[in-house]
Amino acid sequence: MTDASVLPGQPRGGVSSGPATERAVNVLAPNASAMTLDGTNTWIVAEPDSDLAVVIDPGPLDDGHLRNVVDTAERAGKRIALTLLTHGHPDHAEGAARFAELTATRVRALDPALRLGDEGLAAGDVITVGGLELRVVPTPGHTADSLSFHLPADRAVLTGDTILGRGTTVVAHPDGRLGDYLDSLRRLRSLTVDDGVHTVLPGHGPVLEDAQGAVEFYLAHRAHRLAQVETAVEDGYRTAAQVVAHVYADVDRSLWPAAELSVRAQMDYLSEHGLI
């Protein structure tokens, strides 16, 4: 058995539905795959003594899952008052419109196309519901519209796909950009250093107990992959597909299409900085 304490970010065991912190409860969506790991983590967040809750990322358009989220909140004596999106990928956001119907809530997101209601989300916004405080942290890179949510009372951050509970995320070219992603990781690192954040509540995979360790691992991994891609291009591997076959030879081939998106983003970054 692998010792979790030596894994990046110190993951907390397996992935399952249930409480993760004093204020955050996970409802795991039934959409496990190579890309979504165990499935999408739909987060219900609320103050313990409040009857109002916020849901982050309703997940796929799966009526059973969406109703399960509502039922989970109601069993805890809470009414869902607001829906938030970390980004617009279908495994996080496809069910949002239907969820809004079930809960009569607004949907707030950075991308206007995903919103239901007049209010969006922007850097520096502070969301308060039933005494709960969530701070909006812009974390573009995986996608242009990616956001994270800082939960100060639990010293936690909900990261969507910017940091996963297992493995690393895809910078989804052309929407995602590596320079933006590296800046976002540094922004999250500042939360761990300056704001005492120690827990990552990811969009997929287990909760991470060592937020700073997770961010440092991601930064080191990106630097390593970027150096590999730069060397591969210098050695004559000119297309993203060729670079993937060379650099990602140890990665499951089913993940190569996603890896190719990341490689395209890395090649763009290297070109913009005059390195290839």
The pLDDT tens digits along the chain (276 residues) read 234 545 889 999 889 999 999 999 999 999 999 899 999 999 999 999 999 999 999 999 999 999 999 999 999 999 999 999 999 999 999 999 999 999 999 999 999 999 999 899 999 999 999 999 999 999 999 999 999 999 999 999 999 999 999 999 999 899 999 999 999 999 999 999 999 999 999 999 999 999 999 999 999 999 999 999 999 999 999 999 999 999 999 888 998 999 999 999 999 999 999 988
Neighbours of 273 (CB within 10 A): 12
Compute the Cα dihedral for 80, 82, 83, 84 and give only its sign. Answer: negative
| 17-33: b (≥16 Cβ within 10 Å) or e | beebbebbbbbbbebee
Q: What number of residues does the chain have?
A: 276
Tally of CB atoms within 10 A around 94: 18
The pTM assigned to this predicted structure is 0.94
Phi and psi, residue 170, nearest 5°: -95, 135
Report the SS3 class of residue 56: strand
Distance set, CA 210 to CA 25, 132, 190, 200 (Å): 19, 23, 14, 7
Gap between the Cα atoms of 258 and 30, Å rounded: 21
SS3 (DSSP) at 153: helix
